[in-house]
Structure 1
């Protein structure tokens, strides 16, 4: 890591912490949390709805950072955006779009819902939102 990377990481982390996030505040850590969540979804998200929606907050935080005027001066943000977009394309393929139409379209990751999951999420979503998902064993 060089000095520019350190400066970006510090500024990014400060920005993310100021938005209320207390863990995974460095760019690599936040991206990795998003990657792990998408990996879990590709194999059948194993936890319940509360955890699922909580895990989605990593993408919310990434979006805020990617659009932050104070971070735009860092060239590292461009690479982070490319990495996020690669993971996003994997996640989009897993979604039933527009399940939650009250959520703005720019937050497509929260507006949609995975098509398939493990039993706990399938049951929670059916009970709480009347949405049917395919169950992965």
Structure 2
């Protein structure tokens, strides 16, 4: 065993505040019309996966949890109501479809999932 606490393994050397900053940056990019492709979009969602692991492990301080909740609410507001893609077992942030995005992401979502997304550049 490495002697690391489970929460240390979840954080993998990152401070919770850094993960929240990355999530905020991603949400901000989405608010402007995410400019990259579908693969990048899903790769960038990994920060929210890590935050969820931290939430489950109990390694996020209360103020940080409030930041995550606020960012989650902001991100959810950018998703099309009632439109989901992918397996039901995936977390909501992977299944949600943005209302608008840059042309690359919008085209990828249309091609892979036949879900229309308004293009904003």
Above 0.5 in TM-score? yes
Q: Distance in 1 between matches of 2:71 and 2:10?
A: 22
1:111 equivalent in structure 2: 95
2:87 equivalent in structure 1: 102
Q: Distance in 2 between matches of 1:64 and 1:127?
A: 31
2:62 equivalent in structure 1: 78
Using the TM superposition, give the Cα deviation of residue 16 of structure 1 relative to its aligned residue in structure 2, in angstroms. Answer: 2.7
1:26 equivalent in structure 2: 15
Mapped pair 1:134 → 2:95 = no
Paired residues, number = 116
CA RMSD after TM alignment: 2.2
- Under a length normalisation based on structure 1, what TM-score does the superposition of the two structures give? 0.75
- Under a length normalisation based on structure 2, what TM-score does the superposition of the two structures give? 0.84
Q: Which residue among 57, 69, 78 is the counterpart of 1:68?
A: 57
| Aligned partner of residue 61 in structure 2, secondary structure | helix
2:30 equivalent in structure 1: 41
Using the TM superposition, give the Cα deviation of residue 136 of structure 1 relative to its aligned residue in structure 2, in angstroms. Answer: 0.5
Q: Are the equivalent residues in 2 in contact too, given 1:13–1:26 (CA < 8 A)?
A: no
Structure 1 portions without partners, runs of 5+: 1-9, 18-23
Q: Distance in 2 between matches of 1:104 and 1:78?
A: 27
Select the structure that is richer in strand: 2
Q: Distance in 1 between matches of 2:14 and 2:55?
A: 13
Structure 2 portions without partners, runs of 5+: none
Q: Are the equivalent residues in 2 in contact too, given 1:98–1:108 (CA < 8 A)?
A: no
Q: Which residue among 69, 72, 77 is the counterpart of 1:88?
A: 72
Using the TM superposition, give the Cα deviation of residue 95 of structure 1 relative to its aligned residue in structure 2, in angstroms. Answer: 0.5
